[in-house]
Each structure stands twice: as C-alpha cells, then as structure tokens.
Amino acid sequence: MKTIPAQPFSFPFDPQTTGLVIIDMQRDFVGPGGFGASLGNDVERLQAIIPTVQRLLDGFRKAGLSVIHTRECHKPDLSDLPPAKRHRGNPALRIGDAGPMGRILIAGEPGAEIIPELQPVEGEFVIDKPGKGAFYATDFGEILKAENLQHLVFAGVTTEVCVQTTMREANDRGYDCLLATDATESYFPEFKQAAVAMICAQGGIVGWTTETDRILEAISD
C-alpha cells in the first residue's frame, strides 16, 4: 500500500486497484451556450479547471491506471427522464429541448459529449447516467468490479451535485474515495467549499480530499 497526503489524513491506496472517475465534463455543463449557461451560471468557473483535469487524466494514462468518464444524459424519447427532473425550476431551456448544441442533455447530441480536451481514448470507459449519481441505472458498479477497483479518485463537475452524489454512493458500497479539490468545481464557490468540507468531515465520513499534484506524485512513483 502507498499513501497520498490528504485531509483528514493520508489516503492509503494500492495502485493496482486505483482508478480515476471524471464526472460530467460535458459541453452542456462546461461550454458557453450550453445547459449550464442557460440556467444563468458562469461557466468560466468550470472551464478554469480543464487544464488541471487534463493533467490528472494524463497522469493516470501514463501510469496505466483505469479511467472512467461519465456523462449525464437521457434517451431521445425521454423515457428515463422523470417529470420531477424535467420540470424543476424555470429554466430558459429544459432537458430535451433544442439548444445551441442540439437537444439538451440527450445521448448522442453534441452538447452531451465530453469536451474535446478530455475526450476518452481506447480502453477507457464512458458511463451514460440518467441521474446525478453514476451507480443509478448504469453498469458503473459492474465495471468497478470487473476492473478490480477499490480506490477511486474523483474529478469533474459539479462538486456538490454529481461528484459528491457519486462519492456518497461509492462510499456506501465500500469504495475508498479521494476528491482532487483543484480538479472539481461548482457554479457557486460557496457550494464547492461546503461540499469539500462535508466529504472529509468527521474523520472522512464520505472520503478524502487533496490536490492534483499530490495525486500525480504518488501514482508516478
């Protein structure tokens, strides 16, 4: 076992059972004119972490470790989109509506695709998830078992919603979770700050938190 300096204490991990999970770095959330922007959010906050997520992804690739990408999206017929999700709030565009990058958060549409800077390569997994967490209605759990993963490093957006939800789901299933704090972001800085604090509170009730450089140093040895 090796360790990574982290909060609330060092993160113990075995490189052979460690993988990177990049959550929802999609054009509709990160790009200008996408769903996130249509809700009135400042997507530049999310765009700012792209180089850091790239460095983290490159480090895992060079180390030969597993990489899993997720995309939040729905079937074209919206059969997996509950009304409680589609009709929440009063956005200018709703999921399934036509937007600047195709239908909002619909599988196969340009806006639902992962941004070019983080495009998956052969051998990496891509999970299309209809919910906020990556386990719901997907084969994420089966992939983790097939890849013999136990230690999961998380990056992506948004910290307090899809990232934290998936970390909590993973924690409940017995996985050890580490959040790369500079490779995740929220439209609301105070939400990110609170989410990071909640994750490592009470002795790591959900998981651990640390910076990308510490992760890269540990996996490159």
Positions marked catalytic: 24, 129, 162
Find out whether 166 and 135 touch, Cβ atoms under 8 Å. Answer: yes
In degrees, to the nearest 5, what angle opens at C-alpha 201 toward C-alphas 134 and 151? 45
Using omega within 30 degrees of 0 as the cis cutoff, is the peptide bond preceding 8 cis?
yes
The angle subtended at Cα 94 by Cα 89 and Cα 99, nearest 5°, is: 140
User: Hey, which residues does 106 pair with through a beta bridge?
Assistant: 74
Cβ atoms within 10 Å of 109's Cβ, excluding its own: 20
